[in-house]
Amino acid sequence: MKFDSSTYRFTEPGKLGKIALSAGLVFLVISVLGYFQDSAQFFLAYITSFMFWLSIALGGLFFTMLHHLTGAKWSTVLRRVSESAAGTIPLMLILFIPILFGLHELFHWSHPEVYDPASPSLDELLKKKEAYLNVPFFVIRAVIYFAVWFLLSHYLTKTSVAQDSGHDDKLTGQMRRVSAPGMVLFALTITFASFDWLMSLDAHWFSTIFGVYIFSGAFLAIMSFMILVGYFQRRRDVLTDVITVEHYHDLGKLTFGFIIFWAYMAFSQYFLIWYANIPEENYWYLYRWDNSWKYVSLVIIFGHFVIPFVGLLTRAAKRTIPYLAVMAGWILVMRWADLYWLVMPTHHQGGFHFSWMDVTTCVGVGGLFVWFFWKRYTSYAVVPVKDPGLEASIHFTNT
């Protein structure tokens, strides 16, 4: 790995991309072999892993648009990380295809007989949702989601890179103007995508706060990912004087804030359903507080909230970079655990069911994600060199 600090470009990206690609392909092949052993478990593990890595990409898109809308200076040196994470959307579209082949394994509503009045399998509740929960409309919506995400990420990255040739206030204004309606489109698409790909795994259950819950997790994922990418480079003496302890401090503050926000969304969703005590709603939580799933729920409560909350509470914790990187890694593990907790009980209601495919699919999809991310990240300057806020960002100091 060789880096030219005068141009902020990698002259030799190193072996990370090759290692990630090799690991991704090998572990995906191993996962496919598991499909022939237990196809249902394969698709459950795959959608969990897919949603975990997709959340990092979507978090990157949100962070990029947030940066442009607020005109923040401190985050300028970090923008290429979020842009490159969002730039993995085309890869995630390709990796979404196996989910389409697993619709009947994953989603009960995809079976035609549940809508057939003459069938003994008729489901009256799902029948009322047939106009929305049907395979053709499901696919159309997925295409719309990915189209919106791709167009936003592609335009913002292309314009950002074009700015490297010379500062132009017009380009800065364009990125801000696109980010404004982009935020609205992002809010709608991530909400409905979370309904389609996660909540409809159990189509009898519903929660209006579910989209915000998934979004808060996605933002936590990109914050943690950016910390780890920065630390990975720092260990190799890359951008040590550009991404400073001040930037890690702000990343730590945002991570700490969204730990609280995620917990607030999670508790609000639970509290409203518990308080109403309606059988059509509360059974979803009963499955997750029964048998061995109870212990997984406790791991989520303490691992996803209590430990990172206490661990990031102090100023020193946010400014100690190796420690912050460890906490970021822990949060990413808990993000995966949270998605696992959302997905698996819908099909394994009798208790916790861990499979080796849960690991291989995560490493497989993750290997391809890291490879594609690193390829994009190292293909141009790793900071926006002509951005007018770059100098202010480099010399940013927390007060």
Write out pLDDT tens, residues 187-216. Answer: 999 999 999 999 999 999 999 999 999 999
* Res 166 pLDDT > 80: no
Q: What does the mean pLDDT of the chain come to?
A: 94
What's the confidence (pLDDT) of residue 351?
87
pLDDT at 17 over 90: yes
Q: Supply the pLDDT for residue 168.
A: 75
Instruction: Give the model's pLDDT for residue 187.
Output: 97
pLDDT digits (tens, 9 = 90+) for 303-313: 999 999 999 99
First to last CA, the chain: 35
Q: Is 258 exposed, middle or buried (0-12, 13-18, 19+ CB in 10 A)?
A: buried
Q: How far is CA 36 from CA 18, 32, 41, 108, in A?
A: 28, 7, 10, 21
Burial of 134 (0-12, 13-18, 19+ CB in 10 A): middle
Torsion sign (Cα): 51, 54, 56, 61: negative
Task: Report CA 148 to chain centroid distance, whole Å.
Answer: 16
Q: Which of 39, 13, 2 is nearest to 372 (CA)?
A: 13
- 266: number of Cβ within 10 Å: 19
pLDDT band at 123 (very low <50, low <70, confident <90, very high): confident
Alpha carbon distance 56, 325 (integer Å): 16
pTM of the model: 0.96
Segment 126-153 mean pLDDT:
96
> d(Cα 244, Cα 241) in Å, to the nearest integer?
6
Q: What are the tens digits of pLDDT across the range 83-97?
A: 999 999 999 999 999
The answer on pLDDT for 167 being more than 80 is no
Angle at 73 between CA 176 and CA 155, to 5 degrees: 30
Residue 374 confidence (pLDDT) above 80: yes
What are the residue ranges of helices labelled H in the chain? 16-37, 39-70, 79-86, 89-101, 103-106, 124-128, 135-162, 169-197, 210-234, 245-276, 279-287, 293-301, 307-311, 315-319, 321-343, 356-377, 390-394
Q: Specify whether the CB–CB gap between 231 and 322 falls below 8 A.
A: yes
